[in-house]
Structure 1
């Protein structure tokens, strides 16, 4: 597994008592999943196999967490506050391997993950299209957004129960979009400058 420098940076920015714990968790993931790649997803380090998330880890103020992905029955979260809480490699590594096999469908061919069908596209409402056209910065930014971010705005606008609410949401959306903000921008983690 190659090491992603962004994961190095993430660990370096964690509180001092958590750094060695994160490094140990990372090392166990490397040993259990030699074919995995590191990535930053949702602003935290993840370990992926063939593009599928197998595990992720996060640093908080006084603890770190290690989550093993899978279906609802097999998902696990481990909270580590000190060396005493660290899971044994003999216990954690098989869980990681099982999760990778399950997620990829290699070990349980009959239980491979079902490919999800994409959600139906939400058609652009003509009144919102007119608002975007009247605000060129918003129009340009909206076209550059990821499909999920465009969908968030379209759902928010089309789910309004009254015309007044819809108009208010469209005006607010145009303002935020022109500023390059996603629909849920208040919850986005600020990006650290290099």
Structure 2
């Protein structure tokens, strides 16, 4: 697997968890998964499908199994971070470097890879409700070619988020203020809620 310099940069910004993140990363790199950055965190994929993500917070480092609901979990380590909301995603948290058992983690990762190859995945049903392009955004896109190009390059999900963001404002002044806020984000190709993902 090829090293991703963005992942090294991510790890360097978490000084208190560098050792733990490097260990988790080394486990991922022993597999056939490809390393990338998605939603601002190291993510490991096969054929473009997300298998595992790793991240660090104040009190723990964690592994996210995107289709973790299918894992056998023999060591009873996986949790659903948002019970009732999260369908397939499962987390494994480590409060210290010493808590990371390399063999156990690798076993879970290899099972996750196998599950993906077998096509085990929960697909999220998207709302089929179409959102109409808000007038304020539509007008701005018609008058700003660069913005229109950038907006068209966003995923339909991100476009929808921006349209909802404008259309849910009650007053015109709020719609205008929101529009001014999102223009630089759209030009950078950033989704409205990317920093929370």
Both structures adopt the same fold (TM-score exceeding 0.5): yes
**Counterpart selection for 2:50 from 50, 53, 72:** 53
What does 1:6-85 align with in structure 2 at a 5 Å threshold?
A: 6-15=6-15, 17-31=16-30, 33=31, 35-70=32-67, 72=69, 74=71, 75-85=89-99
Displacement after TM superposition at 1:38 (Å): 0.4
Return the index of the structure with the highest Cα Rg: 1
Question: Which consecutive residues of structure 2, in runs of 5 or more, have no partner in the other structure?
Answer: 72-88
The secondary structure found in structure 2 opposite 1:3 is coil
Q: In structure 2, what is the equivalent of residue 140 of structure 1?
A: 146
Is 1:175 the counterpart of 2:189 in the alignment? no
Displacement after TM superposition at 1:80 (Å): 2.1
Q: Is the 8 A contact 1:46 1:56 kept in 2?
A: yes
Normalised TM-score (structure 1):
0.71
Structure with more contact order per residue of length (Cα contacts < 8 Å, sep ≥ 6) = 2
Q: Is the 8 A contact 1:141 1:180 kept in 2?
A: no
Looking at structure 1, the residues matched to 48 and 191 of structure 2 have their Cα atoms a distance apart, in angstroms, of 26
Q: Is the 8 A contact 1:104 1:113 kept in 2?
A: no
Q: In structure 2, what is the equivalent of residue 113 of structure 1?
A: 121
* Coordinate RMSD, CA, aligned: 3.0
Question: Which consecutive residues of structure 1, in runs of 5 or more, have no partner in the other structure?
Answer: 107-111, 190-194
Q: Is the 8 A contact 2:20 2:97 kept in 1?
A: yes
The secondary structure found in structure 2 opposite 1:149 is helix
After superposition, the Cα gap between the structure-2 partners of 1:56 and 1:71, relative to the gap in structure 1 and judged at 3 Å, is closer
Looking at structure 1, the residues matched to 19 and 181 of structure 2 have their Cα atoms a distance apart, in angstroms, of 40
What does 1:116-135 align with in structure 2 at a 5 Å threshold?
A: 120=128, 122-126=131-135, 128-130=137-139, 132-133=141-142
Pairs aligned (count): 172
The secondary structure found in structure 2 opposite 1:2 is coil
Q: Is the 8 A contact 2:166 2:179 kept in 1?
A: no
Displacement after TM superposition at 1:40 (Å): 0.5
After superposition, the Cα gap between the structure-2 partners of 1:53 and 1:144, relative to the gap in structure 1 and judged at 3 Å, is same
Displacement after TM superposition at 1:99 (Å): 1.1
- 1:79-105 CA distance string (max 9 Å, x none): 22323211x222211211111222232
Q: In structure 2, what is the equivalent of residue 150 of structure 1?
A: 159
Looking at structure 2, the residues matched to 131 and 4 of structure 1 have their Cα atoms a distance apart, in angstroms, of 37
After superposition, the Cα gap between the structure-2 partners of 1:10 and 1:90, relative to the gap in structure 1 and judged at 3 Å, is same
